[in-house]
Amino acid sequence: MVYDWQQPQWSQLMQGHRQQRLHHALLLYGQAGTGKREFALSLAQALLCETPAEDGTACGRCHACQLIAAGTHPDLHHLKPLPPKDSKAANPVYSIRIDAVRELCEQLATTAQFDGRRVAVIEDADKMGRNAANSLLKTLEEPGASTHLVLVSSQPHRLPITIRSRCLQVVFPVPPRELALGWLQQQ
């Protein structure tokens, strides 16, 4: 879902996509609760859609969109923080572990199943440990053809500068009060 207050970011990225100049690595950042995760997932779907609308949004009907809706698209990868394995703590620390990043990088290095495009969404990317972030660096530096990595973060300063410097940074400010209230009233 792309919210009304995210239209400038959507237009910027779709223009780059239409011109085949969309950066291979994006860092979507801003305050928690501004809809960055939903935007990232909508962007991933739009990049994989076989028949996107004129504004770039996914059609929701093609085979790729159906696979995404079912959670089975082989070229869409989603990574998010998880608690430690076998954790019995009441409030475990969620993180993105190095083995998960290595597995993602291996998947992105394989041949795409459909039109050649692969997309990875890394939710709460700032929760990667240093080793996990370093493991992602090679893929950020030398991505495969038609590979897009979309990192989402509410605390981008926690990401190593080596990661941030390889991404096109897209800021998501808090929406204007009137716009947010109007959207809430419609819901």
Residue whose C-alpha is closest to residue 33's, from 151, 159, 154: 154
Per-residue pLDDT, 17 = 93
Average pLDDT over residues 32-51: 95
The number of residues making up the chain comes to: 187
Pick the range with the lowest mean pLDDT from 78-82, 129-133, 182-186.
Answer: 182-186
Which amino acid, one-letter code, is at 163? Answer: I
Residue of 85 and 38 predicted with greater confidence: 38
Q: Cβ distance 29 to 171 under 8 Å?
A: yes
Percent of the chain with pLDDT over 70: 100
Q: Is the pLDDT of residue 155 over 80?
A: yes
Q: Cβ distance 40 to 121 under 8 Å?
A: yes
Pairing state between β 76-79 and 25-30: unpaired
Question: What is the C-alpha separation between 154 and 4, in angstroms, rounded?
Answer: 20
- Structure confidence by residue, pLDDT tens digits, 102-141: 999 999 988 888 877 999 999 999 999 999 999 999 999 9
Question: What is the C-alpha separation between 89 and 91, in angstroms, rounded?
Answer: 5
Residue of 61 and 176 predicted with greater confidence: 61
According to DSSP, the residues that pair with 25 across neighbouring strands are: 149
Residue whose C-alpha is closest to residue 16's, from 168, 154, 162, 152: 168
List, as one string, the DSSP characters of 116-155: S-EEEEETTGGGB-HHHHHHHHHHHHSPPTTEEEEEEES-
Q: Give 7's contacts (C-beta < 8 A, 6+ positions apart).
A: none
